[in-house]
Amino acid sequence: MRFQLLAVGFGLGSACLVVQAFAQPQIPATFYGSVTVDGKSAAEGTDIRAIVNGTDCSQNAPGTRPILRDGDTSAYVLSVVHESQRPGCASDGSVVTFTVGGRPAVQSSPWKAGPIHLDLSTGAAPPIPLPSATGTISAILATETAAAPPATSATLSRPTGTPPTDDI
């Protein structure tokens, strides 16, 4: 009898663990990109909010989603929670709209878990894109290549001496 009760208890305990594992909240969508207000980079510290079906689904508290500014470019990173994290928020395919400093952004995007690049803008002007690491590296390489003389067999140095070995 004890064995049967133990087996039943273990079975119920295992079932609870399985149910609990499936009840974990979905990871949020993380939107990132540039922010442009009326054709100019947004001011540092400007508030951005993500709205789904009229509900603010931004993961951070108001005032903690500042825009970061570097030179002429403003960038943001904002997590948007799933309905399993906050009732009434996003699920796969839900349309996410944004506000920048209280003004509606022109862009919107469907929600999906993980990172999503989306440049935001308010007003009629298009968003200013984030600088491209590839474009910057290509420009540097092009400058260095143009300044360097072409390599010839006379300019290439070859090692001299006895090559190393692993013999002791």
pLDDT digits (tens, 9 = 90+) for 107-133: 999 999 999 999 999 998 889 888 876
Mean pLDDT value across residues 163-167 = 70
Least confident of 18-32, 55-69, 133-147, 150-164: 133-147
- The pLDDT value recorded for residue 3 is 46
Bridge partners (DSSP) of residue 55 are 52
Check residue 73 and give its pLDDT: 87
The alpha helices in the chain, defined as continuous H runs, are: 2-22, 133-147
If you average pLDDT over residues 94-119, what whole number do you get?
A: 95
Interatomic CA distance for residues 85 and 50, integer angstroms = 15
High-pLDDT (> 90) share of the chain, %:
45
| Surface-to-core class of residue 123, CB atoms within 10 Å of its CB (0-12 exposed, 13-18 middle, 19+ buried) | middle
Q: Are 5 and 96 in contact (CB under 8 A)?
A: no
CB 16 within 8 A of CB 23: no
Rounded mean pLDDT, 150-164: 63
Using the structure block, give the residue that is written with the tokens 């273990």: 10
